[in-house]
Amino acid sequence: MIISWPFWVSSIAIVIIKLILTGTIGAALTFYARYSSDYYAISIRWSSIGGLYETITLLKNSLQKLPKRSSTVMALMIAAKLFAVFVSILLGLFVSRTDKAEDATVTTVISTQFPPAVPLAWTAWSGYMQSDAAMENTLDKVLNDTGLNPEPNPRTVYTPRKYIYEVACDQTGLVIGSSKKEFAVSYSPPHNCWNLFVILPVGGTYDWDIKSATRRLVSSDVNMMVAPIWYPENKYMELEPYLYANNSKSCFAITQLGSYFYSIPKDGITSLPSTDSTRCQYGTDDSFIMASTSIKFAVNRLNDFDKVTTLIFDDPSSFPLLESMRTVINSGTFLKSSSNDTIVILTRMSSNVDILMCASAFFNQKTNTGLLCTYLVVATISTKPQQWDPTTPAEFKRVSSNPLDAFILTNKNEIRVYHIPLEVIDTMYIYSTSHLLKATTDAAVYLASLGHNVGLNSDAEKLYVFFDTVESKDAFEVPTTLLIVVGVLTLMCGFAWLISEIRYGPVFNGSLYKVIYEEIKSKGEVKSNKDIGPNEETESNEEGKSNSETKLIEETKPDETIKTPMLMDCTHEPLAFEGYQVVPDLDKPSGRSSQEQEYPMDDLRNEPTEQAPTPQVSILQPPNLQPLMLQNIPTQSPQSPPGKTLSK
């Protein structure tokens, strides 16, 4: 059970439980002293007040003479007190600090993520995704980066606000070429859908002649294009196409440069796979989203293509174009060209767009042909116009008078996520194909669900992001069963302790000091010594009192008396409180004969008994050390055999 109170409350609760447990141990001894026939019952209870060390010492000293029952009770009392000492540690093991989320609210975060040199665009976010992570959680972390949220509350969880959207078209056409005007592979888009352009530009590290390209079908759903390629700078570069979409509006994806190689790269992954997500939002409130995952790898020998792809992918069959490329290699396509190398581009249209392009290169010798390949998976979503969140315009207008202009491209969101390998075997990175495919689709869905969440103010050069925020409050967690059991036992123990304090007198529930105080208090109140000479005293006379004595008594009125304070002055040679000697001199004969009447049973209920006449104490000076008879202390156990008394 999570309790939404500060953690220090649990510490106070444990202290209270420990206090009640300690009081309950005293209450148990009170009941034992009241109703047991054990002669040592009251002494056992009083000895417990001295602490564990004193109690253990007393038990060790008297163990041979004590009855078995008394020894057992003392041992149980010591064990209970030891348990009370460690109960706070035991309970603390079951209490853990945690956070409890409060009600969700909406927060607008404003950051300077807008680069002035690039209109209508903003700095791309990037992050890393573990092999077992979900793309949605990864993108949440990317958007929660402190670079975007410059003043985050450490106790607040920020979740980008998402909205329901309606899909206008989830398919695209496909155009592959060296530019927007020169292309070799084309798939017509469905009605009112977008065209996806995959451009592998020329004029850089490599050139390829698209005009000399040949096209044919490898299978019913796989198209192949073959063209010559050469490397004018005698160095190699990963094949890195860029993407853009068009449907009377344009949306350009993130572009990046591939890695350069001056010598043969090892078999396997040449750079971390990445998922690039782009979302373009327009003044008509519709949007286009594309997410592409690219995996770049090298094969040193053509005949090792199967071996390499089987090592770097846990399930190569999930990428259908790998099997088609194997067929192309076996047909000798890469060996039929003249002095130039060859590039082969395979395409397949389904729910996603699959593209595999491989370029041959003579890495070591002219007789040793290798491949540089890029596998590209693209997911696209075209949404219908989305309604604005009612709070969104108000938030923007509060910051700027003209936060969102009615231009064609209102926002462009770009996020790049790099994928951490599933495992590494002998420097070979291994990836899960199903994880990469799902990450691509999830990234497109995530950006589509942002709706109008992200707002760009080109005038103020600021970016606005709306977050659903949940503030975490300090709390603690306790097992429900333990909480109920401890709560019930604490109430029962507290009730027993309360009964023992209310129902029984000090002789059963107080300390020996309190019993002595009550006995002194019962002897009468100490008279005020106001205006009294140091050597005067009163004397009783059977005939009556003298005039001076009568006058002195009349002057000492009840409202001029001082009640005995509970904190009494004490001397220890001999032991005396307020001038009353507690232990009589043992070398003098006792003033009470053995034939005196024993205390009645009423004494055990702390009821008043007939007392001996109070010694006449001079009110002119502190009384001489008078022996104090503790009359309310039973001289025998409540159920002791007749004739066995404890004389005073």
* pLDDT, tens digit (0-9, with 9 covering 90-100), for 490-545: 899 889 989 988 888 888 888 888 888 888 887 755 433 334 444 444 444 444 44
pLDDT in tens, 125-159: 788 999 889 999 998 888 777 666 667 777 787 88
Going by pLDDT thresholds of 50, 70 and 90, the confidence category of residue 394 is low
Q: Is 234 helix (H, G, I), strand (E, B) or coil?
A: coil
Indicate whether 151 belongs to any domain.
Answer: no
pLDDT level of residue 170 (50, 70, 90 thresholds)? confident
pLDDT mean over 22-33? 87
- With beta carbons less than 8 A apart as the criterion, state whether 505 and 605 touch: yes
Q: Which strand (E) or helix (H) includes residue 399? A: helix 391-399
Residue 157 inside a domain? The answer is: no
Indicate whether 105 belongs to any domain.
Answer: no
CA angle 528, 531, 537 (to 5 degrees): 70
Q: What is the pTM of this model?
A: 0.62
Examine the domain organization and report whether 199 and 62 are in the same domain.
no
Number of domain units in the chain: 3
Dihedral pair phi/psi, residue 224, rounded to 5°: -125, 140
Say if 467 falls within a structural domain: no
590: nearest Cα among 642, 646, 520, 514 = 646
- What's the CA dihedral at 21, 26, 32, 34 to 10 degrees? -130
The reply to whether 83 and 180 lie within a common domain is no
What are the distances in angstroms from CA 292 to CA 271, 355, 518?
A: 16, 10, 90
Asked whether residue 438 falls in the same domain as residue 529, the answer is no
Same domain flag for 505 and 549: no
Domain shared by 16 and 37, yes or no: yes
Residue 229 — φ and ψ, nearest 5°?
Answer: -140, 145
- 124 is a domain residue: no
pLDDT above 70: percentage of residues in the chain: 73
* Residue 275 pLDDT exceeds 90: yes
Claim to verify: residue 62 and residue 208 sit in the same structural domain: no
374 confidence band (pLDDT: 50, 70, 90): very high
Spatial distance between the Cα atoms of 300 and 307, rounded to a whole number of angstroms: 11
pLDDT of residue 169: 87
d(CA 553, CA 572) in angstroms, rounded, equals: 33
Instruction: Pick left, alpha or beta for residue 544 (phi over 0 → left; psi -120 to 50 → alpha; otherwise beta).
Output: left
Whether residue 440 sits in one domain with residue 586: no
Residue 583 near residue 536 (C-beta atoms within 8 A): no
Q: How far apart are the first and last CA of the chain?
A: 58
Same domain flag for 71 and 192: no
Burial per residue of 404-424, b for 16 or more beta-carbon CB atoms within 10 angstroms, e otherwise: beeeebbbbbbbbbebebbee
Assess whether pLDDT exceeds 80 at residue 295: yes
Does residue 505 sit in the same domain as residue 516?
no
Position 538 in a domain: yes
Which residues span the domain enclosing 179? Answer: 167-458
Residue 140 included in any domain = no
Check whether residue 355 and residue 454 sit in a common domain: yes
Residue carrying the six token digits 């990428």: 319
Token digits of residue 220: 């019913």
pLDDT value at residue 553: 40
User: Do 339 and 209 form a contact (C-beta atoms < 8 A)?
Assistant: no
**293 and 335 share one domain:** yes
Same domain? 569 vs 615: yes
Residue 215 belongs to some domain of the structure: yes
